[in-house]
Amino acid sequence: MTVTATDPGLHPAELELEREGSALRRLARDPAKVWGYVGIPLIVIVSWIALYIWVTGLELDLIEARILTGEMIREAFVQHIRLSLIATVFIVAIAVPLGMLLTRPYAKPVTPIFIGLANIGQAIPSIGVIFFLALPFLLGIGAQTAIVAIIIYCILPVLRNTMVGIDQVDSALIESARGMGMTKAAVLLQIELPLAVPVVLAGVRTALILAVGTMTLATFINAGGLGDIINQGIVQNRDSILITGAVLTAGLALLIDWLASIAEEIFRPKGL
Amino acid sequence: MTDFMIRLEDLTKRYPGQLAVDNVSMDIPEGEIVVFVGPSGCGKTTTMKMINRLIEPTSGRIFLEGEDVTDINADQLRRRIGYVIQQIGLFPHQTIAANIGTVPRMLRWDKKRITERVDELLEMVGMDASMHRGRYPKELSGGQRQRIGVARAMAADPAVMLMDEPFGAIDPITRERLQNEFLRLQAEIKKTICFVTHDIDEAIKMGDRVAIFGNDHKIQQFDTPEMILSHPANDFVEDFLGSGAALKRLHLRRVREVTLTPWPTGDVGVGRHALRSALAANDDHSFLLLLDDNQHPVRWVSDRDLDRTEGSLTQAGLPVTAIVEPHATLHDALDEMITSNVGCAVVVDSVGAYQGVVDIDAVMTAINALRLETRERFAVGSWHGVPEAVGDGGPT
């Protein structure tokens, strides 16, 4: 049953070049990317060390000394990360399945409604969402309210990217999959979703950054986070406190973005 | 119920305000390639997609191996039918092995059996298994992807395969080769194949039977390529065949079916003197065909080339360009012949060893034989053997 045939394919060496063995090898071919991967954390760490040296060299007054303690800062930092991550986990858990559902043909009529709602969530100023939800007869103040507000505010990028990611899958792939007898669910889970992963992850990355930035407002409804420190800096009129809060927040956002970019590289399906 | 692998009964597909397929009935015999051909929008693809129910018929019945499959679970049905589309549709995030194993996985074959089957299929389509099974589709050329598409469709050994313009998106040279390869493969595997194309030449070359669809979404003629070429059923079919029907008939004969003409040959190794006397012994030929140690044809040399003593014999004279294999059609051979510098095509076997040559006389003889053959068949009236053929094309 063997057919002898001259292979019209690529030269083996050419194939070797095209092979995408590992994420590492992919990186090695793109020096600009390598710089991004090493440079960002380097900048963040250097700026944090500079901040530390500067603050420890200052003569702190009573108010500064009360707030700029290791314990206080650590607590705010950890709380900030915790709130942002919890919000993002909920965003992914809600937006990805919802996005999958909304790309099904039968959901086409209601799709604009959901996209519209998500748009409204993002269009209203984030501080408005937070204060509105914190009204006593709604959710009241506290961490849960901050998380819900951030979910509403940041869900759009993940929802939209999930839908775009699934919609951009080549219809020929779906036809050939259906033609071989794959069920609709199997096509969604084995073909459409894996191929949408890079776009979905890009949306998650955007949502994470938005969440980390916006979470600084959580301080106004008593939910903690790095906003506490920034706010104290403003209220107490102490630049050292304000700068510490701002540099920590900015660095955290950069680091999270950096981690997300690595995750994108790792979870991107091979062969794309 | 019947000897037919696929039976279509009064299939109609109507979209709101538009008719796509009008009352098509057809029997597809086991082990044959039936080609659906016609202009755009004639319903050929729709008809094919109704066989595996990617498109559900508005009315009519579909039978597969005698079983009415019009209302059974469509996903289960499709796992019994191979499917190849023009864009191939290999899953880019899966390896070649995973792509080929798609249907066996759904049928819950065990891993070992799937692996063995994948390797067997890769060899069958002429690709080295150990080299390719772990690769991804984007690492392959267009022709290789097409082969994997065919291998994937054959994975669970379906009796029936549907092919929707499978060679449509491939460059002409590769297409020619893939067509020949596929015909050679089909000679071994004997699947029942429903093949859609808009290219009448491809239809004639590939089809055991050809169904020509018209703009009225009905079948105009369903018959063997010979009969369609010699007795088009109506003006539409005649127009669709276009000019050069006689030339197209050369697609119907293969090089292995004609008597090869011998040509004086000489071994590269025997020396100029021996070659010169070999050529001198042949009054009819002014060129000698040089063969290397493996009997592969290498150069055409004339007396004058042999007189020039400088340089190696493998550089003397003209290169052999027109080479065909036995499964090539006479149309291919004629094409090669016309571009060749000595007016004939060299025939080699599957390992490239010299077999003989085909020249223009052989082609003429074959054309005459074909003409005679169809005339005889028409005379005994056996040509309208297929009941659903529409129209009575023969002269009365």
Give the pLDDT confidence of B7-37 residue by residue, as tens digits.
999 999 999 989 999 999 999 999 999 999 9
Q: What is the pLDDT of residues A231-269, one digit of tens each?
A: 999 998 888 999 999 999 999 999 999 999 988 888 888
Residues 6+ apart with CB under 8 A from A92: A158, A204
Beta carbons of B136 and A270 less than 8 angstroms apart:
yes
Identify which of B85, B127, B135 has the shortest CB distance to residue A7.
Answer: B127
- Look at residue B255 and tell me whether its pLDDT is greater than 80: yes
The pLDDT of residue B310 is: 67
A44 alpha-carbon distance from chain centroid: 18
- CB contact (8 A) between residue A7 and residue B93: no
The interface pTM score, or ipTM, of the predicted complex is 0.76
Of B191 and B253, more confident: B191
Q: Is residue A72 part of a domain?
A: yes
Q: What is the pLDDT of residues A35-51, one digit of tens each?
A: 778 888 999 999 999 99
- Look at residue A230 and tell me whether its pLDDT is greater than 70: yes
Question: What's the rounded Cα separation, in Å, for the pair B28 and B163?
Answer: 14
Q: How far is CA A142 from CA A130, A133, A226, in A?
A: 10, 10, 15
Beta carbons of A252 and A226 less than 8 angstroms apart:
yes
A42 half-sphere exposure, CB direction, 13 A CA radius: 6
A10 contacts in chain B (CB < 8 Å):
139-141
**Residue A143: domain span:** 58-267
Question: What's the rounded Cα separation, in Å, for the pair A84 and A209?
Answer: 9
Q: Is residue A224 part of a domain?
A: yes
- CB contact (8 A) between residue A9 and residue B188: no
Q: Is residue A136 part of a domain?
A: yes
The pLDDT of residue B122 is: 94
The mean pLDDT of chain A is 85
Question: What's the rounded Cα separation, in Å, for the pair A242 and A227?
Answer: 10
| Nearest Cα residue to A129 out of A210, A60, A29, A62 | A210
Count CB-CB contacts under 10 A for residue A92.
19
Residues of A with CB under 8 A from a CB of B: 1-5, 7-10, 15, 18-20, 170, 172-173, 175-183, 186, 191, 194-195, 269-272
Q: What is the pLDDT of residues B63-117, one digit of tens each?
A: 999 899 999 999 999 999 999 999 999 999 999 999 999 999 999 999 999 999 9
Confidence band for B386, pLDDT divided at 50, 70 and 90: very low
Q: What is the pLDDT of residues A153-198, one digit of tens each?
A: 999 999 999 999 999 999 999 999 999 999 999 999 999 999 999 9
A3 contacts in chain B (CB < 8 Å):
124-126, 181, 184-185
- CB contact (8 A) between residue A179 and residue B54: yes
A124-130 average pLDDT score: 84
The pLDDT of residue B390 is: 42
Q: Is residue A261 part of a domain?
A: yes
The pLDDT of residue A13 is: 42
Share of residues in chain B with pLDDT > 90 (%): 49
Query: CB distance from B75 to chain A under 8 Å?
Result: yes
Residues 185-204 of B with CB under 8 A from A: 185, 188-189
**Residue B71 token pair:** 């209302």
Top-confidence range, A13-17, A33-37, A82-86, B363-367: A82-86
A143-167 vs A111-123: helix crossing angle, rounded to 10:
130
Identify which of B77, B139, B189 has the shortest CB distance to residue A15.
Answer: B139
The pLDDT of residue B20 is: 94
CA angle centred on B85, ends B119 and B335, rounded to 5°: 90
The pLDDT of residue B303 is: 80
- Look at residue B137 and tell me whether its pLDDT is greater than 50: yes
The pLDDT of residue A128 is: 83
Beta carbons of B40 and B65 less than 8 angstroms apart:
no
- Look at residue A73 and tell me whether its pLDDT is greater than 70: yes
Q: How far is CA B292 from CA B201, B288, B351, in A?
A: 36, 13, 13
The pLDDT of residue B44 is: 95
The pLDDT of residue B104 is: 96
| Chain position carrying tokens 């209203």 | A124
Query: CB distance from B120 to chain A under 8 Å?
Result: yes
- CB contact (8 A) between residue B89 and residue A2: no
Q: Which CATH number fits the domain that encloses residue A111?
A: 1.10.3720.10
Q: Is residue A198 part of a domain?
A: yes
- Look at residue A11 and tell me whether its pLDDT is greater than 60: no
- Look at residue B188 and tell me whether its pLDDT is greater than 50: yes
Count CB-CB contacts under 10 A for residue B309.
7
- Look at residue B392 and tell me whether its pLDDT is greater than 70: no
Share of residues in chain A with pLDDT > 90 (%): 50
- Look at residue B1 and tell me whether its pLDDT is greater than 50: no
- CB contact (8 A) between residue B136 and residue A170: no
Confidence band for B378, pLDDT divided at 50, 70 and 90: low
Question: What's the rounded Cα separation, in Å, for the pair A172 and B92?
Answer: 12
The pLDDT of residue B319 is: 84
Read off φ and ψ for residue A33, nearest 5 degrees.
Answer: -65, -45
**Residue B254 token pair:** 């293969």
Q: Which residues pair with B160 in a beta bridge?
A: B81, B192
> How many domains does one find in chain A?
1
Based on C-alpha coordinates, what's the Rg of chain A? 24
Q: Is residue A34 part of a domain?
A: no
- CB contact (8 A) between residue B350 and residue A195: no
The pLDDT of residue B155 is: 94
Confidence band for B332, pLDDT divided at 50, 70 and 90: confident
Q: Is residue A46 part of a domain?
A: no
Q: What is the pLDDT of residues B228-243, one digit of tens each?
A: 988 889 999 988 988 7
| Nearest Cα residue to A92 out of A272, A271, A269, A267 | A267
Question: What's the rounded Cα separation, in Å, for the pair A90 and A67?
Answer: 32
Q: Is A3 helix (H, G, I), strand (E, B) or coil?
A: coil
Q: Is residue A79 part of a domain?
A: yes
A114-129 average pLDDT score: 85
Of B380 and A55, more confident: A55
Identify which of B87, B184, B351 has the shortest CB distance to residue A3.
Answer: B184
Q: Which residues pair with A211 in a beta bridge?
A: none
Taking one residue from A and the other from B, the number of pairs with CB-CB distance under 8 angstroms is 114
The mean pLDDT of chain B is 87
- CB contact (8 A) between residue B89 and residue A178: no
